[in-house]
Structure 1
Amino acid sequence: MNFDYFREVFVEYLQIEKNASPYTIKYYLDDLNTFFLFLEKEGISDLKEVDYACIRVFLTELYDKKLSRRSVSRKLSSLRTFYRFLEREQIVEQNPFLNVTLPKMDKPIPEFLYEEEIEKLFTVNDVNTPLGQRNQALLELLYGTGMRVSECAILKIENIDFSIGTVLVLGKGKKERYIPFGKYAEDALVQYIDDGRKQLADKGSSPTNSLFLNARGTSLTARGIRTILNDMVKKAALTIHVHPHKLRHTFATHLLNAGADLRSVQELLGHEHLTSTQIYTHVTKDHLRDIYLKTHPRA
C-alpha cells in the first residue's frame, strides 16, 4: 500500500469534512508518520495487516521512548480516527484500534489566579496611553469572557455589541458563540476604541477592522498577546507565570466558586463536551470543603 496516498486523502477528509484546524492536522500527521515509520520498520506494507498484537508492539515502543501517557493516548486516538476513516472508505474491514484501551491519564488541576493576584494586574496599565488602554481592554476582555487567545486575536470591532453587552466569538471548528461581558470590560473597551485604537490605527499603512492593534497599527497576534501579559506580570511584580489560558482557567474557576452551574460555564467556554468543563470542579471542591469546615457545626 502507498502510505503517502492514504496520508493525503486522510488530510483532505480532515480539512473538508471535519473542518479541522491546521494545528490539529499537524498533530494528526505527526502521529500518522510515527505509525507509518513503525510499520516500515516491522516490514508491514499493508494497513489491513495491522492487528491487536501489532498495536501492542507499537505501544511498547512508544513507552520505551519515555512518551507520556497523554502523548500515547493522543496517538492512539489519532490512529483510531484514521482507521475509522479507512473503514468507512472500505479500505479495511475493521478498526483494530477499537479494542485498544487508552491509557488512563492524570488530570492536573488547572492553574488559576487568586482574586488578589488578578486585581494587581488591573493596576499596572497606564490608561492615559494608547497601548495602556489597549492592554487594559485586552486584560478585561480575556478575564471577563474566558475566551481563548486565538479567539481574541481574530476579533473585529463589529464583533462587540455594546447595546446588549456581548461579544461574538469564532471558536474551534468555526463555531460561533456569544459571550456576555460586564461593566469593567465595557468601560475599558469604550475608552480603547474611542481613543487609543484610533491613535494606533493612524500608524498603520492600511485600514483594518481588527479590534486589537499593535504599536505599528496592524493586527495584534496571539504571540503578541502573550508578550503583553508577561509584561503586565513583571510590572505587577508577581512571581507567577501568566499565559492567556490561565486567565481562561481563572474565569471558569471564579464563576464556579461563586455558584455558577457547570452547563452555563460550558456554554461560555465553548466546550463541546461537559467533561472538558468538569476539570474545574476539582478546584471548586477545595473551595466547598473550606466553606464546610468553617460553617458546619459538626465539621
Structure 2
Amino acid sequence: RDGLSDASIARLLSSIKALYRWLGRTYDIENAEIAYLQGPKRPQRLPRPVSIEAAKDLIEEAGTDPDSEAWINARDAAVLSLLYGAGLRISEALSLTGGDLPAPERLRIAGKGGKVRIVPLIPVVRKAVDTYASLCPYNLGRNDALFRGAKGGALNPRLIQGLVQKLRAVLGLPDTATPHALRHAFATHLLAAGADLRAIQTLLGHASLSTTQVYTGVDAERLRDVYAAAHPRA
C-alpha cells in the first residue's frame, strides 16, 4: 500500500523473519506463523550483454590507445579478448600465469569453488595473448602472473574495470557495458548462433543449468525486438 517495490517488500519480509528467528533462539519467543508468510515473486533479472559490434569496438579501442605504451595496449586487448572470446571472468583471466604460454588451443581454468573446466581458445584470442607476451617487458616465469601492471606487479582487476569505464565513455556505450558484460555477450552470442545450452554451461563453468538458462531470456528478448522491427504488421 505504501508503493514499495517487490524487491523492497521481499527484503523487509526477510528481515522480519530473521528477527523472529533471533527472538526464538535468544528469548524463546516463538512465532511459527511468520514462516508461512510469502513475499512477492521477484522477476528474474536478465544479464545485460553488449552487442557484437560493441564487443569488437571495446577490444579494438583498448588495443589502440595513443596515450599508452604498446605492450599495455596489447595487454588490455588480450584481457578483453579472453573475457569476450573465451567467456572468462576477470579473476580467471588474471589468474593465468607464464605457464599458460604460448597460448594453447585449450585452456585449463579453475573457476568459482575450485571447479575446473577446459576452455577452447579461438585463434584470434590466442594471437592477442601471444602478442602481449612478446611485447611485455617483464619476465613471465612459469609461476608468475601473466598479466602485469605498469610497474611489473600482477595486474589489478580494478584497472580493467576502469579501462572499460573509460572506453564506454569514448564509444558512447551505456553504464551496463562492464567487463562482466563481455562474458554475458560471449554466452548470448553463442546461443543466438545456435550453440547448445549444455555446451555454454560447460564453457562458462556454471554448476547448474538453471544459471545458464537466464541467457535464453536475453535471446528471446532480442528475437522479440527483431520481430517487432521486421514484421509488416508490427
* TM-score, scaled relative to structure 2: 0.76
Which 10-residue stretch deviates more, 108-117 or 287-296? 287-296
Which secondary structure state, in structure 2, belongs to the residue aligned with residue 104 of structure 1?
Answer: coil
CA distance in 1, matches of 2:40, 2:98: 44
Equivalent residue letter for 2:160? I
CA offsets, 1:179-209, max 9 Å, x none? 111111111111101112xx1x26x9x9961
Identity across the alignment (%): 33
2:152 match: 217
- Pair 1:115 & 2:115 matched: no
Equivalent residue for 1:126, pick from 60, 64, 73: 64
CA distance in 2, matches of 1:207, 1:171: 20
Number of residue pairs the alignment of both structures matches: 215
CA distance in 1, matches of 2:32, 2:101: 52
Q: Compute the displacement of 1:51 (Å).
A: 6.4
Misfit runs of 4+, over 4 Å = 37-40, 287-296
Which secondary structure state, in structure 2, belongs to the residue aligned with residue 169 of structure 1?
Answer: strand
Equivalent residue letter for 2:218? V
Q: Compute the displacement of 1:104 (Å).
A: 2.8
- Pair 1:147 & 2:88 matched: yes
Q: Compute the displacement of 1:293 (Å).
A: 7.8
Q: Compute the displacement of 1:46 (Å).
A: 7.2
1:267 match: 202
Equivalent residue for 2:26, pick from 45, 51, 56: 45
1:283 match: 218
CA distance in 2, matches of 1:160, 1:146: 19
CA distance in 2, matches of 1:216, 1:186: 25
CA distance in 2, matches of 1:160, 1:279: 34
Equivalent residue for 1:254, pick from 184, 189, 202: 189
- Pair 1:239 & 2:176 matched: no
Alignment gaps of 5+ in structure 2: 1-13
Which secondary structure state, in structure 1, belongs to the residue aligned with residue 64 of structure 2?
Answer: coil
Q: Compute the displacement of 1:291 (Å).
A: 6.9
Alpha-carbon spacing, 1:43–1:271, altered in 2? closer, same or farther (3 Å) = closer
Q: Compute the displacement of 1:172 (Å).
A: 1.0
CA offsets, 1:97-122, max 9 Å, x none? xxxx6863311221111112122213
Residue pair 2:98, 2:142 contacting (<8 A) in 1 also? no
Equivalent residue letter for 1:108? R
1:172 match: 112
CA distance in 2, matches of 1:237, 1:294: 25
Q: Compute the displacement of 1:141 (Å).
A: 0.9
The one of the two structures with greater contact order (alpha-carbon pairs below 8 A, sep at least 6) is 2
CA offsets, 1:186-236, max 9 Å, x none? 11111101112xx1x26x9x99611111111110122222122223323x4
Rg larger for: 1
Equivalent residue letter for 1:180? P
